[in-house]
Amino acid sequence: QLHLQESGPGLVKPSETLSLTCTVSAGSISSSFFWDWIRQPPGKGLEWIGSTSYSGTTYYNPSLRSRVTISVDTSKNQFSLKLNSVTAADTAVYYCARRVGGSGSDYWGQGTLVTVSS
Amino acid sequence: QSALTQPASVSGSPGQSITISCTGTSSDVGGYNYVSWYQQHPGKAPKLIIHDVSNRPSGVSNRFSGSKSANTASLTISGLQAEDEADYYCNSYTSSDTYVFGTGTKVTVL
């Protein structure tokens, strides 16, 4: 059973960079899937942040594109998210997930809460 | 990109059927058969229950069904059960090679 686990700081200061890593286990990241980051502010809905293929092709939400970088490290079976110049509006539970092309995300991490506060 | 539009809440009694709509545009829902639906219980990660408009992943109850007409996709839950009380989100591929979620619908079992 494929397992995804998010890791990273739970508290980030305003204007700094949020950095998260998703470790994939019981399966290879070097496969014909896409690897997504999705977030959910407390009490609010889901927002797709972006995705990467194992070869490093990336796609980003236009509203976040100027601040987001998603990268993949196949040697570690991990992919990462960097979001710079964060504000309180970036406070959310961040999920990583595997997506089967356009056909939806079938495996998700448990999510990690990142709070932006001084 | 704007979030797809879903009703904020839908309710029904046990055993009834309910339908949740997801309205987009010809650049997302209406343009592609890449609509998926997710169920999310409080404090949990979303769970994929429908992909490619109307297909159920293995293990998902056949009480869940999906369809699409023009720019609106729909999720129907038949034989409503207490365990179906959750938030539901649609998601669609877009012409910009991105994905967009719906605003979310809270389902209450009366």
Q: What is the mean pLDDT of residues A39-62?
A: 96
Provide the pLDDT for residue A101.
Answer: 84
pLDDT digits (tens, 9 = 90+) for A48-58: 999 999 999 99
Q: Which of B43, B51, B47, B40 is nearest to B91 (CA)?
A: B51
Chain A interface disruption, residue of B98, B101, B103, B106, most A CBs within 10 A: B98
Q: List residues in chain A touching B: CB distance below 8 A.
A: 36, 38, 45-48, 50-51, 59-63, 95, 100-106, 108-111
Block residue for tokens 């879903």: B6
pLDDT band at residue B1 using 50, 70 and 90 as cut-offs: confident
In angstroms, the separation between the Cα of residue B80 and the nearest Cα of chain A is 23
**pLDDT bucket at B85, cuts 50 / 70 / 90:** very high
- The separation between the first and the last C-alpha atoms of chain A, rounded to the nearest angstrom, is 39
Rounded to whole angstroms, the Cα distance separating A80 from A71 reads 5
Q: Do A102 and B52 touch (CB under 8 A)?
A: yes
Chain A positions touching B40 (Cβ under 8 A) are 46
For residue A31, is pLDDT > 90?
A: no
Closest chain A residue by Cα to residue B36: A104
User: pLDDT tens-digit profile of B19-75?
Assistant: 999 999 999 999 999 999 999 999 999 999 999 999 999 999 999 999 999 999 999
Above 90 in pLDDT, residue B93? yes
Tell me: the pLDDT tens digits for A70-115?
999 999 999 999 999 999 999 999 999 999 988 899 999 999 999 9
pLDDT given for residue B79 in this prediction: 97
